[in-house]
Chains A and B, each alone.
Chain A
């Protein structure tokens, strides 16, 4: 008995001293993560959800624009960035604290889910009356932020707001298969299925309104985001019913590619499938950036299905991109390779411009002039060679290799790649290694309250009304009146940035993952 006890103790000391040397850092990493998260959760979050940026004293906050205290932002790096990070932190550390933080995010999203099943850009916990007050003041006067000029009262797919929120709920549900998350998830899925046009595309917003937001929209991952979400559903929820909408969405890329001699894509299409304009600085045009994205998507569809019909017209699209490449004289000293907008019928570059100071006198126009450009798509760089290489590489692969990772392929799937593991594989908690020195810096940068403060953030001025004219002030984020280039806060003011928190946390997670 005595000997036995001694043996155990010796063994224990050996293990412990071995661990001691490593644990110092691992513990300090997990401690830092907990302290930083606790501050975000207890002091920063609104009902478990987040805006994008806060002043250090939490007196002001921003989502896409300045926000009310009752408002949180959905898209990354707002609430969804936080929720996804929490789940990744839970996977890496096994610490239930992060799961509970993710539960709070899910509960906030479920609160903010609209009756239709989708989400607006942001959630206002003070409800409709507060949202309307915001739109009449800050939203309406945010020059250049046209999607916020007025309140439409419907859900948006812009920037994957709805598909992102739905995907987060899907991840939450898969984590423990807790049916508490299922009704909200089911509603979101039903909404995305219902809002798909029969031809396979989606509008930017739904239910439909009588404006550009009802156009078929490729811009900002509206169609791609919804399609990807449905593929996630097929892979993780397994229902056959997702296949038809997925196929229709993929086919939509084929039927929107323009005929010769301009075999590219527009960002929006009207109900007759003609290229359409959207915001004031987005003319109906063939768009090089969208064409690049859609070529990559078609190659992805080939990897999903092994069907060569998705490849057929890629060479024509690539050739068109080569054709509209800018002459050296127009590349702004090598800062761009292509115009963003190309005129239908002529292949001439179209450029956006603006003048003015705010919504009252501001003007946008499109012309052929490359001087004083408005900074939307002005410096477009298209890697045509990358497309060519990818395309040739894909053609050279035998078909079973092409589709080997396809989530749509009929075949057995290892159990370890199903459910929540699907997302861990698809989007690992961290990529790459982070050095010991960086980790020490990150931990050191955490202040006594558990904050990573940052400076020189992108902010806006508070909304005011000019007594003389009765006009509201420009509430847009600070930017150059002509080029709209960002102007960051030059002062020494401290901010709490959700993006900074997420970046640091991801570095710490990467460190933990690589230690294992």
Chain B
């Protein structure tokens, strides 16, 4: 009898609630419901022990990190976004909604990352819950045969700094300061110590640490132990250490931060530009086979922006002094019109040391077995890595003029390194929704790639579109993904190319045109961020209204 009444009541409430929502529920509730539904699907159906890869077939029969990946694997880094970035979204959602489910989702991310933390304290690209034996199997098959994906052709087993160790550490830091859960602290301490220990005395970092000099290509030395500017490693680590300084408050970070910033000064070449890699004598060095030693306009442009930022951190005008020569270098190496690929590029990826001649990359072949890379004068049929670079020199000049016009006091108004009383509500709660960006934001919204909407707040129409696009399972499925072919061995014993589908010459992405649907975490992250931004504004408006 009791149960009978229960069921009746339950059905009644269900029916009523449907009507109510259909008619008059406000967008905030709908938005929060969509966020939770999407997140529950990610946590409970998609994640492996709390971790993620980038792309899935909806039936989970295949999945991809940067490359196709085993179902026991989650990805930490590579090109955005992976497991730590999902953790960031969960924490953002937690801070915006206060719903403990998101904190627990973030906690699961942390647990997966901590399981996969290497002895050194850092992380490699992939965490494999089946361990080293399975990882070996992956490298022996998919990794080894991914043409053009040089960093996966060989197994190192060491930590990498390619938005993975930094991202994982930053995420653990955020989660730790959220509730100061001390069970997270040993892993966080190990990670921070790794970042500090892996910094060279000169202030830079290498791609991998500890150094493991083992793989050569075309007689070039293994670049993974070199000083590395690729993938913004020093910038990310400096920002991370600043975030540590601000939230953990320890003086010991200052010295490393300062050395990190000074490294940008000592690496500027006589011609005003910077290289992507430097050998241990601080001379421009090769990177991967398609990264010849040279001076890089795009790295130079990035460094101009960073040096301006360093001035706003420190008020030290020495960080401005390299900029005029750097701008001159960019002016000088601007491509003549006939080399701009119809206006698609302003600069070559890299120019020769001394002559400043563009070094154009090319490749031919069908896979790692017969593939070849070389550099020539031919600016057609260029290999797409470092191709089509557009640098807006005017905007760099304007930024330089604006920032250098500031006095040190003016420049450092918002500096996280400035000695002053803290006026915020809680220095440890640096969510992007706290404070007002005056202090440091622990999410990388200003440096994210295209799919990352940053702080843009969508209007109600866009919110409704996003919510409406969600399917009944809470997914936002997409089509036309860049995938790869499964690993196979031919009758003649040749391994197939496991790289993501791309043009054999230009390496331009070739997308799956079949209409096959995919679950792409970039879509989840983008939509969640927009919805979070919307909820956050809603919260703030409500707070303001109350006040």
Contact = CB atoms under 8 A, between A and B. Distances in A.
B15 A1 contact: yes
Contacts of B133: 234-235, 238, 407-411, 413
Contact of B130 (A1, A9, A12, A418): A418
A238 B15 contact: no
A339 interface: no
A179 B132 contact: no
Task: Using C-beta atoms within 8 Å of the partner chain, give the interface range for chain A.
Answer: 20 to 34
Contact of A412 (B7, B112, B118, B130): B130
Given A12-B3, A241-B119, A418-B72, A179 B128 contact: no
A269 B134 CA distance: 37
Interface in B99-131: 108, 110-112, 114-115, 118-119, 128-131
A235 B183 contact: no
Given A1-B15, A415-B71, A415-B72, A236 B110 contact: no
A408 B137 CA distance: 12
Contacts of A12: 3, 7
A238 B137 contact: no
A415 B132 contact: no
A290 to B, nearest CB: 30
A4 interface: yes
Contacts, number: 92
Nearest to A408: B133
B215 to A, nearest CB: 17
B17 interface: no
Nearest to B7: A8
A180 interface: yes
A182 interface: yes
Contacts of B136: 410
B70 A179 contact: no
Interface in A387-436: 407-415, 417-419
Given A177-B50, A238-B128, A9 B7 contact: yes
B129 A240 contact: no
A345 interface: no
Contacts of A19: none
Contacts of B159: none
Given A179-B183, A179-B186, A238-B128, A412 B70 contact: yes
A238 B131 contact: yes
B184 interface: yes
B130 A180 contact: no
B11 A415 contact: no
B454 interface: no
A240 B157 contact: yes
A411 B138 CA distance: 8
Contacts of B184: 179
Contacts of A334: none
Given A178-B111, A179-B111, A180-B183, A413 B7 contact: no
Given A182-B187, A418-B129, A419-B129, A413 B49 contact: no
B135 interface: yes
A176 interface: yes
A422 to B, nearest CB: 9
Contacts of B72: 412-415, 418
* Candidate in B49, B112, B119, B130 with the most chain A CB atoms within 10 angstroms: B130
A239 B134 CA distance: 11
A177 B111 contact: yes
B140 A4 contact: no
A237 B186 contact: no
B217 interface: no
Contacts of A243: 132
B422 interface: no
A103 B128 CA distance: 26
Contacts of B131: 234-239, 413, 418
B4 A9 contact: yes
Contacts of B128: 238
B183 A178 contact: yes
B363 to A, nearest CB: 30
A5 B110 contact: no
Contacts of B254: none
Contacts of B50: 177
* Candidate in A177, A234, A411 with the most chain B CB atoms within 10 angstroms: A177
A183 interface: yes
Contact of B115 (A177, A408, A409): A177
Nearest to A183: B186
A268 to B, nearest CB: 32
Contacts of A409: 133
A235 B134 CA distance: 10
Interface of A: 1, 4-5, 8-9, 12, 176-180, 182-183, 234-241, 243, 407-415, 417-419
Given A177-B108, A237-B115, A410-B133, 17 more contacts: A8-B7, A8-B11, A12-B3, A12-B7, A176-B111, A177-B49, A178-B111, A182-B114, A182-B186, A234-B132, A238-B128, A238-B130, A238-B134, A412-B130, A413-B72, A418-B130, A419-B129
Q: What are the 10 tightest A-B residue pairs by CB atom distance, in nearest-first order? A: A238-B131, A413-B130, A177-B111, A180-B183, A410-B136, A240-B132, A418-B129, A179-B183, A411-B137, A179-B114
16 contacts: A5-B11, A9-B7, A177-B50, A234-B132, A234-B133, A235-B133, A237-B131, A240-B157, A243-B132, A410-B137, A414-B72, A415-B71, A415-B72, A415-B129, A415-B130, A418-B129
